[in-house]
């Protein structure tokens, strides 16, 4: 009766009752670990396996495989043989995957890196003057060769695998670090002239009454004050630069630019589909922008969280460089 109710075999019920009689309730509810087979690799050999997996592969091979690692361990230890499953289990326990590689921007963390990082973080913590994060991203324009089939109950929307390339477009993104405001401008390219027109629109349209606008941007060659002189009259360019204050993020540190997060939201919510031309792109992006601004959406930057201690973070970062942890970092901010 108990076996049928619980859904186990009668032998399981018998063993549980016997453990209850011999070891009381606690012993009945817990079971001693079963001995099983001994691990084939000792602790020292498992450490050796991890070290080999993290080293360079043999000559002529692009990466380590389970079979290569098993053969290498047989040569380095006294085992007669080692299965690929044993190697896989031991590597899985240590979260080692030698056959995988990831592309990554590896920054050079030096004094200039720390100085620029502190400069940008200070801007985010100071809401007294406007801080606008600026960046750009390309968009591929793709049209349909056949009309998609709409979704039906039990069937998703179906699009043809063939498509038509209609060129590319560029999106310039503006994001206020302290206010729930963003703006996306659609252009054909991202030249220095386009950058100059964006800065003109920023100070003459969006922040007309601001005395100074601090702009956070990356190190693209087009992001230079000289671009304004190439497009506008010298007097107008000089007047705009008096109101603009450029702050550059460290190289390979685009994560410090808050607008990168907003561009990711734009890509996920609006651009994750086939958009055939610039007119459609401009219309869809404008709809997304108006709704996002109306919702009062903001980027929740980590430095605003009380639990985040940036002083400790910078202290550790300095410890990994030639800087002394307690040495004051001289921040260079170029003003125009």
Instruction: Flag whether the pTM goes above 0.75.
Output: no
pLDDT value at position 311?
56
- Distance separating alpha carbons of residues 317 and 322, to the nearest angstrom: 10
pLDDT one-digit tens code per residue, 153-201: 999 999 999 999 999 999 999 999 999 999 999 999 999 999 999 999 9
pLDDT value at position 324?
46
Residue 249: pLDDT over 90: yes
Q: Helix, strand, or coil here: 154?
A: coil
- Distance separating alpha carbons of residues 268 and 222, to the nearest angstrom: 27
Q: Is 213 exposed, middle or buried (0-12, 13-18, 19+ CB in 10 A)?
A: buried
- Distance separating alpha carbons of residues 277 and 186, to the nearest angstrom: 11
The 10 Å Cβ neighbour count of residue 78 is 6
Of 41-55, 225-239, 273-287, 299-313, minimum mean pLDDT range: 299-313
Q: Which residues of 8-31 are buried (b: 16+ CB within 10 A; e: fewer)?
A: eeeeeeeebeebeeeeeeeebeee
Residue 310: pLDDT over 60: no
- Distance separating alpha carbons of residues 47 and 96, to the nearest angstrom: 12
Residue 306: pLDDT over 70: no
Mean pLDDT of 15-30: 77
């Amino acid at each position: 009766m108990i076996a049928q109710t619980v859904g186990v075999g009668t032998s399981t019920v018998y063993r549980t009752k016997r453990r209850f009689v011999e070891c009381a309730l606690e012993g009945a509810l817990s079971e001693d670990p079963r001995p099983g087979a001994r691990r084939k690799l000792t602790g020292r050999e498992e450490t050796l396996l991890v070290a080999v997996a993290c080293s360079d592969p043999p000559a002529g091979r692009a990466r380590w495989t389970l079979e290569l690692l098993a053969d290498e361990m047989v040569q380095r230890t006294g085992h007669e043989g080692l299965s690929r499953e044993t190697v896989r289990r031991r590597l899985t326990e240590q979260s080692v995957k030698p056959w995988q590689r990831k592309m990554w921007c590896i920054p050079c963390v030096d004094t200039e890196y720390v100085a620029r990082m502190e400069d940008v973080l200070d801007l985010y913590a100071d809401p007294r003057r406007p801080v606008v994060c600026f960046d750009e991203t390309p968009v591929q324009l793709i049209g349909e060769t056949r009309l998609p089939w709409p979704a039906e109950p039990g069937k998703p929307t179906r699009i043809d695998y063939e498509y038509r390339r209609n060129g590319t477009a560029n999106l310039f993104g503006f994001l206020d670090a302290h206010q729930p405001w963003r703006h996306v401008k659609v252009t054909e390219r991202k030249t220095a002239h386009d950058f100059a027109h964006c800065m003109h629109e920023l100070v003459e349209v969006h922040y007309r009454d601001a005395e100074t606008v601090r702009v956070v941007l990356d190190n693209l060659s087009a992001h230079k004050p000289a671009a304004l002189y190439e497009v506008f009259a010298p007097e107008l360019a000089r007047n705009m630069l008096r109101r603009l204050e450029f702050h550059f993020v460290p190289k390979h540190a685009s994560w410090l630019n808050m607008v990168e997060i907003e561009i990711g939201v734009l890509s996920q919510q609006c651009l994750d589909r086939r958009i055939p031309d610039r007119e459609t792109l401009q219309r869809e992006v404008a709809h997304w922008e108006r709704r996002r601004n109306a919702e009062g959406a903001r980027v929740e930057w980590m430095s605003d969280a009380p639990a985040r201690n940036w002083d400790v973070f910078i202290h550790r970062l300095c410890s990994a460089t030639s800087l002394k942890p307690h040495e004051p970092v001289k921040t260079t901010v170029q003003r125009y």
